[in-house]
Structure 1
Amino acid sequence: MIFLNEDTKCVVQGITGKQGSFHTRSMLEYDTNILAGTSPGKGGQEFEGIPVYNSIGEITEQMDVNASIIFIPAPFAKDAAFEAISQLELVVIITEHIPVHDSMEIAQYARRMGCKVIGPNTPGIITPGVGKLGIMPTHIFNPGDIGIVSRSGTLTYEVASQITQAGLGQSTCLGIGGDPVVGMDFAEILQKFEEDPGTKAMAMIGEIGGNAEEKAAEYIAENITKPVVAYIAGRTAPPGKRMGHAGAIIESNAGTAETKMKALKAAGVEVAEQPSQIASVMKDIL
């Protein structure tokens, strides 16, 4: 397992909002170790037995926390992220539609502070049997030794479900986010899986647009020894097509499914033609 383990002590930023409250209940039902929440102006209240504070600064004066999940609306998400990054080790940003320049500042500040940021526009992270900081449905996951990293929330769920149905399980699953600018990238996540004794193989789910998968392929060739199985979504999309995510835009002949698949295969990665093939390939490997 990576990032989210038994020692993770979580804060929910925006715990009393519509999305924050709904998903906090789900995270608590999955036994996620949530110790506190923030909601400016509502400090002193409780939500589902969880104390609510006005700021993370107030929380850190009272208790030891090291991770946050953000359900703050896009116009205010940068301030919330900066507050969390300055004091915590892991920050998961669920929020969509954060302006690109805000995301750039968040990513830069996180690197400077040595904080791990997942997202924005991510389904989050789940370590099956331990907890989740995210919005994914928990019933499709099963504790195991396959790490999943993805740009697509929906495909994460599909692949995880098929791996579970195949009698296998996941060590940790996370979405890096579908925006053009995100915190941690494929290479950083794959390296953590490489170092994790509980992960034996990795599934990497990419999509058209940008060069994240090509960069990951270079990194895999030089640094990763564990088996990686990949799938690239959007193979039939024409140039200039946007595929759901702001980050999935093809420009000229760069960022196409073909260029990504070619780079990954050259790095020794087995590339599935369909997401449904990943589970069967994993069964053969493991």
Structure 2
Amino acid sequence: MSILIDQHTKVITQGITGKTGQFHTRMCRDYAHGRAAFVAGVNPKKAGEDFEGIPIHASVAEARAATGATVSVIYVPPPGAAAAIWEAVQADLDLVICITEGIPVRDMMEVRARMRAKEAAGGKKTLLLGPNCPGLITPGEIKIGIMPGHIHRKGRIGIVSRSGTLTYEAVGQVTELGLGQSSAVGIGGDPINGLKHIDVLKLFNDDPDTDGVIMIGEIGGPDEAEAARWAKEHMTKPIVGFIAGVTAPPGKRMGHAGALISGGADTAEAKLEVMHACGFTVTRNPSEMGKLIQKKLGAVFAPA
């Protein structure tokens, strides 16, 4: 089992002919079942050509019709990335993964409003991961995005993070401990994005092959606290939580566009307090994440 993607997923790369799109499509195609998964690219100016055997189509809708793909990954530069998201949504894909960093907030507000209006009118709901995210991986099956495949190992720990670098840190720790990951999901750090922590926690909670979760957040916004309150009422699996930015000064953006403290409730300390009160095992030291989830699983599954 996995969440969102598996070895049978078929993927379209939007922006496949750019330097970044070429490099990461090649890396993803060469990981596990990637050769069967990455079936099409999109570039209207190069339709009919191919990238190392992957056919290029004029539009997402055309690529989907030709291949049956249900997922796209976007490496389109910032000025055109929101339009690329909307094109994939209009093609009724199941999931759109936007890696692009630096998309104007206004562009994302517009595309989010269009997505909501489409769904409200009875149209298909397309899930969006990102933008400004590393993507996601089901180890040993498929990776979509920019994460390094070699540090992952198939296992039973779910990882969800706003920080790409800390995703890799958590992955490396649980791999070294021999636990491995069921899936690892980078949701991105932009202020206007798709899937939130709460959405991914719900997926992990329903996944029978995920035994525990590491949730990594950042300063800014209410998402981590909302996820923690949901988990208190519904989550049946142990969660280790970490929030980056304990020393961040109020009013100063730190790294991600969404990592900006606007009030008392979105500081790292405030989020950690909410998570602790909701039953998370919290840490202020990111090097402890793997050992803590191992300890929690040992307590949960220790023989009577």
TM over 0.5, shorter chain: yes
Counterpart of 1:52 in structure 2 is 56
**Equivalent pair of 1:107/1:117 in contact (CA under 8 Å):** no
Unaligned runs of 5+ in 2: 298-304
**Does the CA contact (< 8 Å) of 1:242 and 1:250 recur in 2?**
yes
Tell me whether 1:105 sits opposite 2:110 in the alignment.
Answer: yes
1:174 CA drift (Å): 1.0
Once the 2 structures are TM-superposed, how far is the Cα of residue 126 of structure 1 from its aligned partner? 0.7
User: Are 1:118 and 1:183, in contact at CA under 8 Å, matched by a contact in 2?
Assistant: yes
3-state DSSP of counterpart to 2:48: coil
Q: How far is 1:220 from its partner?
A: 0.9
**What does residue 12 of structure 1 align with?**
13
Q: How far apart, in 1, do the equivalents of 2:271 and 2:263 lie?
A: 14
How many residues end up aligned between the 2 structures? 286
Structure 2 counterpart of 1:169: 180
* Superposed counterparts of 1:1-286, under 5 Å: 1-30=2-31, 31-32=33-34, 33-86=37-90, 87-111=92-116, 112=119, 113-286=124-297
| Structure-1 residue corresponding to 2:301 | none
Larger CA deviation: 100-109 vs 51-60: 100-109
Task: Name the aligned partner's letter for residue 65 of structure 1.
Answer: A
SS in 1 for 2:45: coil
More helix by share: 2
- Cα offset, 1:265, TM superposition: 0.6
Amino acid at match of 1:81: I
Question: Could you say if the C-alpha distance between residues 109 and 227 of structure 1 is closer, same or farther in structure 2, counting changes exceeding 3 Å?
Answer: farther
Give TM-score scaled by structure 2 length. 0.91
Deviation of 1:191 (Å): 0.1
Post-superposition offset of 1:123: 0.4
- Whether the 8 Å contact between 1:144 and 1:168 is mirrored in structure 2 is yes
- Deviation of the 1:195 alpha carbon: 0.5
Greater CA deviation, 177-186 or 56-65?
56-65
Q: Structure 1 counterpart of 2:249, which letter? A: P
RMSD: 1.1
- Given that residues 239 and 293 in structure 2 are in contact (C-alpha distance below 8 angstroms), is that contact kept between their aligned partners in structure 1? no
Whether contact under 8 Å (2:9, 2:70) holds in the other structure is: yes
8 A Cα contact 2:160 2:200, kept in partner: yes
Secondary structure of the corresponding residue to residue 240 of structure 2? strand
2-structure distance, mates of 1:259, 1:176: 21
Structure 1 runs, 4 residues or longer, greater than 4 Å off: none
Q: CA deviation at 1:108?
A: 3.6
Deviates more, 1:259-268 or 1:232-241: 232-241
Q: Percent identity?
A: 49
Separation in 2 of the partners of 1:210 and 1:175? 17
- Unaligned runs of 5+ residues in structure 1 are none
| 1:196-220 residue CA offsets vs partner (Å, 9 max, x unmatched) | 1111111100011111111111111
CA contact 2:64–2:70 (8 Å) conserved in 1 = no
Instruction: Report the secondary structure of 1:254's partner residue.
Output: helix
Paired residues of 1:110 and 1:183 also in contact (CA < 8 A) = no
1:109/1:7 Cα in 2 relative to 1: closer, same or farther (>3 Å)?
A: farther
Native 8 Å contact 2:48 2:57 kept in 1: yes
Aligned-pair distance for 1:7?
2.6
